[in-house]
Amino acid sequence: MSRVQTQEIDRQKRYEIIGDFYEIIANLDSKKEVVGFFMGLLTPGEAVMFARRIQIAKLLLKGETYEDVRKKLSVGLTTVSNVAQWLYGENKEFRDQINAHTRKKKIKKEKDENFMLEKWLDKYPEHKIMKKLLGID
**What's the predicted TM-score (pTM) here?**
0.64
Secondary element (H or E) of residue 85: helix 77-88
Same domain, 134 and 114: yes
Q: Same domain, yes or no, for 4 and 37?
A: yes
pLDDT band at 94 (very low <50, low <70, confident <90, very high): confident
Query: Where in the sequence is the domain holding 60, given as residue range(s)?
Result: 44-89
Domains: count for the chain = 3
Pick 24 or 98 by higher pLDDT: 24
Based on the fold, state whether residues 84 and 113 are members of the same structural domain.
Answer: no
Provide long-range contacts, Cβ within 8 A and 24+ apart, for 94-98.
Answer: 94/57, 95/57, 95/61, 98/54, 98/57, 98/58, 98/61
Note the pLDDT tens digit of each residue in 43-69. 989 999 999 999 999 999 999 999 999
